[in-house]
């Protein structure tokens, strides 16, 4: 199964693709979709993110996707803009017919690092440990790979639970 993780951001939207075969997770690709404020209006920046993320899905053809929840900060305008970028992160996989998992940042950190309040450097380190030899495009791509790993673990857990329930019922 191929899993896409997306770390939403208006300026830098990170993405990471992994393949999952049983308990084995391997790196496929990662990168960052850029939308600089100098590019133009908010609508143009969102269109650019949509086009770039659409290309990621077209090229890498994931089977499943996951997006990180945004956190609310003191700047309401910035939070709203981030929410709009997150809308693009949810929309594009849905346009490809994928179900999209959603995870809180603390859940991703707990899954990958073991601690819900881990620092970015710890997340990056653990992603590198779990994906040996990976070259990461930047912090946003590292976060996206962590989201993909979290989603893969969640899918594996739910699959095992469903199989155990079927065995118990049958």
Is the pTM higher than 0.75? The answer reads: yes
124 is catalytic: no
68 is in an annotated binding site: yes
Catalytically annotated residue among 19, 68, 102, 162: 68
Catalytically annotated residue among 55, 102, 140, 162: 140
Strand partners, 19: 2, 26
pLDDT at 39: 63
CA pseudo-torsion sign 151, 152, 153, 157: positive
pLDDT band at 160 (very low <50, low <70, confident <90, very high): low
122: CB partners within 8 A, 6+ apart:
109, 113, 115
As a whole number of Å, the end-to-end CA separation of the chain is 27
- The model's pLDDT over 79-138, given as tens digits with 9 standing for 90+, comes to 898 999 999 999 999 999 999 999 999 999 999 999 899 998 999 999 999 999 999 999
7 is in an annotated binding site: yes
143 is catalytic: no
Tokens of 119: 């620092």
Domains parsed from the chain with CATH numbers: 2-169 (3.30.420.10)
- The model's pLDDT over 19-58, given as tens digits with 9 standing for 90+, comes to 999 889 999 999 999 997 766 899 999 999 999 999 999 9
Environment class of 165 (CB within 10 Å of its CB; exposed 0-12, middle 13-18, buried 19+) = exposed
75 is catalytic: no
């Amino acid at each position: 199964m191929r899993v896409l993780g997306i770390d939403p951001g208006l300026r830098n939207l990170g993405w990471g693709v992994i393949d999952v075969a049983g308990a084995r997770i391997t790196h496929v690709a990662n990168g960052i979709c850029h939308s600089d404020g100098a590019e133009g209006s908010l609508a143009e920046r969102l269109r650019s993110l949509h086009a770039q993320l659409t290309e990621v899905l077209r090229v890498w053809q994931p089977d499943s996707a996951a997006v990180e929840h945004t956190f609310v900060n003191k700047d309401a305008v910035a939070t709203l803009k981030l929410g709009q970028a997150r809308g693009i992160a949810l929309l594009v996989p849905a346009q490809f017919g994928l179900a999209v998992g959603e995870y809180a940042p603390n859940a991703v950190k707990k899954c990958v690092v073991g601690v819900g309040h881990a620092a970015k450097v710890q997340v990056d380190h653990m992603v590198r440990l779990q994906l040996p030899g990976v070259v990461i495009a930047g912090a946003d791509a590292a976060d996206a790979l962590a989201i993909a790993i979290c989603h893969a673990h969640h899918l594996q857990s739910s699959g095992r639970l469903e199989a155990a329930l079927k065995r118990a019922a049958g």
